[in-house]
Chain A
Amino acid sequence: MTFNRKHAYMKMLQQGFVAMLPLNLAVLPWGILCGSLAIQRGFSELEAILMPALIFAGAVQLVFIELMSDNVPLATILFTTFIVSSRHFLYGLALRDKFKNLPLRFRVSLGFLLTDELFALSGNRKAFVGKLRLIYALAAGGSFYLSWLVWNIVGIVAGNYLPDLTELGLDFAIAVTFIAIVIPSITNLPVLITVVTAGVLSVVFTLAEWELGLVLSSLIAMFSGYLTASKQATLKLKKGNES
């Protein structure tokens, strides 16, 4: 019995790791960019390591490095970080019912590990429910954390020998990762509407240089998808009544 359970745990650890592996590799260029940029902009090795270890958010790290080296006031840095991070509120809301009754250590660990990538793995309705799927989530999130840390450290070590990587188009790695996650998830009209709305609005808001654009375009897109689904449901009901 105990052997079986242990075996199941091991299997879930392994599956979580395998599921996250493509994303662990896909953030390699992004991690190296963050680590090397920190060194090139004059941060110490300790500071550069603490960024991925404690903050653990690529977009925030990058914004922080650039703002700090431009001597921007602390209040602006904190506010910008809050805005860039605010999309995580949506992830927390979406996973609230699954996580809120977990023991503290699980909740805090998964909260800490709740990146775009871990959230992307939670698409299935059953995802992260029950102890085995939690172990899966912890393995996926934990391996992503370690990978992020290692890629950053590679960047930190190589930072003094590498050229400025910001112009090399490494952000494409992020884009292609999310394309690979989003496109296969478009299986019905509401999701298609969501994706198109989010795409159009996010471009408009980015061009307007609006920091809140990411969250706002996401929210409007979610409503568009939701309304499409409701409309579809009503139409179906009507049709059913007529026939």
Chain B
Amino acid sequence: MTLLTIFLLACITFCTRYLFLHPKLPLRIGAKTTHLLSFSAPAVLTAIWVPIIFVKDNSFDSSLSNPYLLAATVAIITAYKSIETE
């Protein structure tokens, strides 16, 4: 039963990844949509990392005692500096 469930979950993740790569899908993406989709990487990745930093046990934590926030601040400054030096 567990094996079957794992197989089903594998199908779901694969389908969500593959669906729009399939050529037979009747869908044409225009210039505007392409431009819109160019914002998808920063949008999705940010929507993943920001809650990890700020949400602890279902409440908002922006205090200085939040270790994630301190470490994230260092990471953001380092990442920002890395563009300047390039």
Interface residues of A (CB under 8 A from B): 43-44, 46-47, 50-51, 54-57, 60, 64, 68, 74, 77-78, 81-82, 85-97, 99-101, 107-108, 110-112, 114, 116, 119-120, 122-123, 169, 171-172, 174-176, 178-187, 190-191, 194-195, 197-203, 206-207, 209, 213-214, 217-219, 221-223, 225-226, 229
Interchain CA distance A206-B82 in the complex, whole Å: 30
Bitwise interface map of B from 19 to 47 toward A, beta carbon under 8 Å scored 1, else 0: 11111000101000111111111111111
Q: Known A-B contacts: A100-B22, A182-B42, A198-B50. Give 9 more (CB < 8 A).
A: A64-B9, A82-B12, A90-B37, A93-B33, A174-B49, A176-B75, A203-B54, A213-B47, A214-B44
Q: Which residues of A lie under 8 Å from residue B38 when comparing CB positions?
A: 94
Interchain CA distance A131-B37 in the complex, whole Å: 23
Q: Pick the most buried of A46, A88, A214: most chain B CB atoms within 10 A of its CB.
A: A88
Q: Are B68 and A172 in contact (CB-based, < 8 A)?
A: yes
Interchain CA distance A219-B58 in the complex, whole Å: 23
Q: Are B36 and A195 in contact (CB-based, < 8 A)?
A: no
Closest residue of A by beta carbon distance from B10? A54
- Chain B contributes a number of interface residues (CB within 8 A of A) equal to 57
Interface residues of B (CB under 8 A from A): 2-3, 5-10, 12-14, 16-23, 27, 29, 33-55, 58-60, 67-68, 71-72, 75-76, 79-80, 82-83
Enumerate 21 A-B pairs (CB-CB under 8 Å) in ascending A order: A55-B6, A60-B12, A64-B6, A68-B5, A81-B9, A85-B16, A92-B19, A99-B21, A101-B23, A111-B17, A169-B68, A174-B48, A175-B52, A175-B75, A181-B41, A191-B39, A198-B42, A198-B47, A202-B51, A203-B50, A207-B59
The 10 closest A-B pairs by CB, nearest first: A92-B20, A111-B18, A183-B79, A54-B10, A202-B47, A199-B50, A225-B39, A198-B46, A221-B43, A178-B49
How near does chain B come to A93, taking the closest CB pair, in angstroms? Answer: 5
Q: Are B13 and A180 in contact (CB-based, < 8 A)?
A: no
Q: A191-B42, A222-B40 are contacts. A203–B55 as well, Cβ < 8 Å?
A: yes
Q: Which residues of A lie under 8 Å from residue B58 when comparing CB positions?
A: 207, 209
Q: Are B37 and A94 in contact (CB-based, < 8 A)?
A: yes
Q: Which residues of B lie under 8 Å from residue A54 when comparing CB positions?
A: 6-7, 9-10
Interchain CA distance A178-B79 in the complex, whole Å: 10
Interchain CA distance A44-B34 in the complex, whole Å: 44
Q: Are A77 and B5 in contact (CB-based, < 8 A)?
A: yes
Q: Which residues of B lie under 8 Å from residue A171 when comparing CB positions?
A: 52
Q: Which residues of A lie under 8 Å from residue B19 when comparing CB positions?
A: 89, 92
Q: Are B40 and A94 in contact (CB-based, < 8 A)?
A: yes
Contact of B45 among A46, A92, A120 (CB under 8 A): A120
